[in-house]
A and B are shown apart, each in its own frame.
Chain A
Amino acid sequence: METPRLQETVAELARRAGIHQWDLGAASSNDRSVQVDRGEAKQLKAAQRRSITVRVWNEANRIGITSTSDLSEAGLARALEGAKAASAFGNQDETPAFSPLATAPLAPLEHPLHPPIGILKLLASLKEAEADLLGRHPAIATVPYNGLAERSSERIYLNSAGACREQKLTTASIYLYARAEETGRKPRSSGAVRLAYGADSLDMAACIEEAAERTIAHLDYGPIPTGRYTCVFSPEAFLDLIGAFSSLFNARAVLDGVSLSSRDSLGQSLAVPFLSIHDNGLHPGNIGASRFDGEGTPTRSLSLVEGGVLSHFLHSEATARAFGVEPTGHAGMGAKASVGPNWFEVGPSPESGGGAGGLDRFLASRNGGQGLVVIDSLSALHAGVKASQGSFSLPFDGWWIRDGEQRSIEAATVAGDIRTVLQTLLGFEGEAKITPDGLCPWVWVEGLAVTGDA
């Protein structure tokens, strides 16, 4: 997309349509991806996408919006007309405005742009990776879910007051989920994912190693009795849980009455006094970070929980105005702008001691009792999380550790209440790990309900 030309075209079309205030978000991308099946190409895909969302304000200061993938002049004119028509139904009680930070300086990001390697090289790399993984254990017969992809993309935010944001980005990803089966036993599956700025810099070896290790570790499985267990969440699993309940930190959800938090929750204890949660979209580990949100507000680091106390909410322009604070760079673009997290950093609050020290799941499991449950990955968060109730009941893959020995759990669910989880953290194990969703160490939680079929 040529930003100056887009800006001129939309400004002229808006003028012709009698629209005096507008903004827009545009995106385009080129994707290439491959999948393989036992040494053969399964599917090769390429996609070219582009889209634009325009918002217009009418004379009564009501807002309307329309989105389209038709970026021709006729398409843009139709989008502006559609947004103008929709503005008659805008919410007069809450009209978004331009972000006061839409022209503020953006923080620098070290995101090198990588040229694409092309689909045939992607295919060759993935075939090699699959063959390597299949060779790691005789029980690994297939890698039914796999993919290697590269993407180049561009985002633009413009408004009629002169704001102009642009960002170009390249990313690449690989995922390998293997299926292993031993005679007379049930099939088991696990895998790994890696992201990078280009396919040539993906850590394929680490992805293969992790996928193999995880899959093999689930081969020896058994049932677990239903009961209450100390659970050790992997960084990925704990970040999934925090993400599913991010309405706790979401000012939009607070204003809508669907968050467990309220305006009065700021400054109150939400968790154990050693917990820190930040949202930091600018962390170097956040591959694909955006420098600005859907309203043009710069991305920045924001403390959400410090010392167990709820410290800030995530905001759009409209929610920030309602709370009397600045927008935080977490908005989408809409007639009612959505609000969402960027990338979490979870760990101990500085100088808090970080809860129980020296946690080691294998050592702890030698102390007798019923052992510990390691939750490696959670499933079905879309169905098993009731964010506005605080409850969850989720299937998981993991291990039961007793007497220093770990065994994969055949099938089980873990259930609880997020507020209780946050108040019953025991501490952290190991160094924080960078994942696609954030940074987090292993997290110990006391007394969660685990349902097994023993």
Chain B
Amino acid sequence: MTLSTLNPAAPFHDEGWIRRLEPLLAAGKAAGADLVEVFLERTDHLGVLAEQDTITSVSPAFGMGAGLRVFRAGRDGFVSTNDLGESALHAALDEALAMLELRRNGAAGPGSFEGLASLRDFGAAKQPWLECCPDLSEATARLLQGTHQLERHGSHLQARRGSYARNWQEVLVVASDGTHARDIRLHQTVGFSVLAADGDHRASLGRRYGTTDNPDDLRHWDLESSAIDLCASAATMLYADYVQAGQFPVVLANRFGGVIFHEACGHLLETTQVERGTTPFADKVGEFIAHPSVTAIDEGLSNGAFGSLAMDDEGMEPQRSVLIENGVLKRFLSDRAGELRTGHQRTGSGRRQSHSFAAASRMRNTYIAAGPHSPDDLIASIDQGLYCKSMGGGSVGPTGQFNFAVEEGFLIENGQLTRPVKGATLIGEAKEVMPRISMCANDLELAAGFCGSVSGSINVTVGQPHIKVDAITVGGR
């Protein structure tokens, strides 16, 4: 084997990468693979933490790696490595081939690999982004302004934290079907958290905001309004009683309230769940699975949204996928393996945390579409219920049971919001809850979040207008 002299640090649009990767793809095909895919990644990360009025942690990190996947007869073998050297990549190929009981047999077979297509370079205009982001001096100064705003607007605050994370990623995807695409991604998150305490009363709350492809994100963050919002919530929840358990109608606020659809239904519309046989909706395309008031969308296109992407981690441009239209299931989110194994067409949803995960069908910006009502209409329609103003995280299990935590809740009594309550957990099953979303308001908004699943933790957006669920189990005391 002749090794090229390409420096692994060379940018991924350097033509030397074609000379290094094409023989790899050809060798894989010649060995009998149906498809060989290589994902190369280079990362640069910065994390900063401010506590009270001090910067307590600055944590830069950088790295690189490759994920190499071989498909044969519906099966796949995946190998990842931190070493982008030519011999390491060939060793990774050999290992992936061996997993499928394939062995390279020398020269490429006739017509087996026709070379890479011209580079689709989604990163060309993004080259200067890393340098455009705030440097350490600016980032630390902004965060300290933020924790100062918390001090200014909060009361009984025992702990104040501000955090900033900047993740820059350059990726190259090549495959033996000619796929050849590069992108640069920039994700930034900023957040506040506080612990308010007064005697035995305690309330810990946080807010996190995130954007994609906006180097000025930290500069433009409205620190004061974020601080005012969080401090007001902390002051409200500090003296809140625990919620009484039971089955109630609930109204879920817009923005992060969309976690209910993400957990209760979104995951079940990924082809990974179809493959596992863990979604109750596998054979329901064209059927009602939700109330006719529900239309749900997943897309990777919203400008600057945390789940947006120019191409997915398999080199495909994202699509706008209507998942549910007026209650009827229209389609699933699919990646390369999902299309191969379930027949659902790819939607540009192949995503992974890093090179060390194989891509899987995952959500991007996922939301319930706006409806005709005002938020007040929803609340006014309930005699006794719960208003979930702010949501915590949640999860869904292998039988479709979902749960999520309510961070800030209020009782609804006779059509009015009354006392704040805490400690609520909403649980249910997707099949049962989706037909109970009976009203959607006209105030759709999105919120950034992280989703952990089979291909790691990825950036996503959840969203919805205010929605009403006619009945759901509210866990409490």
Contacts and interface: CB of A to CB of B under 8 A. Distances in A.
- Are the chains A and B members of one assembly? yes
Interface of A: 37, 40-51, 64-71, 74-75, 78-79, 82-83, 85-86, 88-91, 93-94, 119-120, 141-142, 144-145, 177, 179, 186-189, 226, 256-258, 334-336, 379-380, 382-384, 386-391, 393-395, 411-416, 449, 451-453
B427 interface: yes
Contacts of B424: 393
A45 B78 contact: yes
22 contacts: A41-B75, A44-B99, A45-B80, A46-B80, A50-B82, A51-B82, A67-B59, A67-B60, A69-B64, A120-B99, A145-B398, A187-B280, A189-B397, A256-B159, A380-B393, A383-B393, A393-B424, A393-B476, A413-B245, A413-B476, A414-B475, A451-B474
A10 to B, nearest CB: 17
Contact of B56 (A47, A94, A394): A94
Contact of B82 (A69, A226, A416): A69
B245 A449 contact: yes
B220 interface: no
Nearest to B277: A142
A413 B399 contact: no
A85 B62 CA distance: 14
Contacts of A453: 247, 473
Interface in B46-69: 48-49, 51, 54-65
A177 B276 CA distance: 12
Contact of A415 (B394, B397, B425): B425
B424 to A, nearest CB: 7
Given A119-B99, A388-B202, A68 B62 contact: yes
Nearest to B398: A189
B246 A226 contact: yes
Contact of B136 (A47, A85, A94, A258): A85
B15 interface: no
Given A49-B82, A389-B204, A67 B61 contact: yes
Contact of B76 (A37, A44, A94, A142): A44
A383 B58 contact: no
Nearest to B394: A383
A216 to B, nearest CB: 15
Given A47-B79, A78-B62, A257 B159 contact: yes
B275 interface: yes
B400 interface: yes
A257 B275 CA distance: 46
B401 interface: yes
Contacts of B393: 380, 382-383
B126 to A, nearest CB: 22
Contacts of B101: 120
B80 A395 contact: no
Contacts of B114: none
Contacts of B178: none
A8 B409 CA distance: 58
Nearest to A28: B82
B63 A69 contact: yes
Interface string B74-114: 11111111110000000010011011110000000000000
B204 A386 contact: yes
A409 to B, nearest CB: 12
B110 to A, nearest CB: 28
A449 B245 CA distance: 9
Nearest to B82: A69
A411 to B, nearest CB: 6
Given A47-B356, A335-B58, A380-B395, A179 B195 contact: no
A415 B202 contact: no
Nearest to A72: B8
B259 to A, nearest CB: 9
B425 A335 contact: no
Given A384-B425, A411-B401, A48 B475 contact: no
Contacts of A416: 477
B83 A48 contact: yes
A383 B395 contact: yes
A49 B80 CA distance: 8
B274 to A, nearest CB: 11
Given A43-B78, A383-B405, A394-B425, A189 B203 contact: no
Given A179-B399, A226-B245, A389-B204, A82 B60 contact: yes
* Size category of the binding interface on chain B: 35 or more
Contacts of A415: 242, 245, 423, 425, 475-477
Contacts of A90: 58
Contacts of B428: 411
Contact of B404 (A188, A256, A383): A383
Given A189-B397, A379-B403, A389-B202, A89 B140 contact: yes
A44 B392 CA distance: 34
Contacts of B159: 256-258, 388
B45 to A, nearest CB: 8
Contacts of A412: 427, 475
Contacts of A85: 60, 136
A70 B62 contact: yes
Contacts of B477: 393, 415-416, 449
Contacts of B317: none
B64 A70 contact: yes
Contacts of B429: 186, 411
A142 B395 contact: no
B414 interface: no
A189 B399 contact: yes
A217 to B, nearest CB: 15
B277 A383 contact: no
Contacts of A257: 158-159, 195
A91 B92 CA distance: 42
Contacts of B247: 453
Contacts of A88: 136
A56 to B, nearest CB: 12
B305 interface: no
A451 B277 contact: no
A2 to B, nearest CB: 16
B132 interface: no
Contacts of A45: 77-80, 358
Interface string B204-216: 1000000000000
A187 B78 contact: no
B9 interface: yes
B80 A48 contact: yes
A48 B81 contact: yes
A411 B57 contact: no
Contacts of B404: 380, 383
B405 to A, nearest CB: 4
Contacts of A186: 399, 429
A68 B63 contact: yes
A90 B48 CA distance: 11
Contact of B57 (A69, A189, A334, A413): A334
Nearest to B205: A386
Contacts of B394: 380, 383
Nearest to A382: B393
Most-contacted residue by chain A among B95, B242, B477 (CB, 10 A)? B477
B423 A393 contact: yes
A91 B78 contact: no
B149 interface: no
Given A380-B394, A451-B476, A86 B82 contact: no
A68 B61 contact: yes
Contacts of B397: 189, 379
Contacts of B202: 388-390
A145 B242 CA distance: 35
Contacts of B398: 144-145, 177, 179, 187, 189
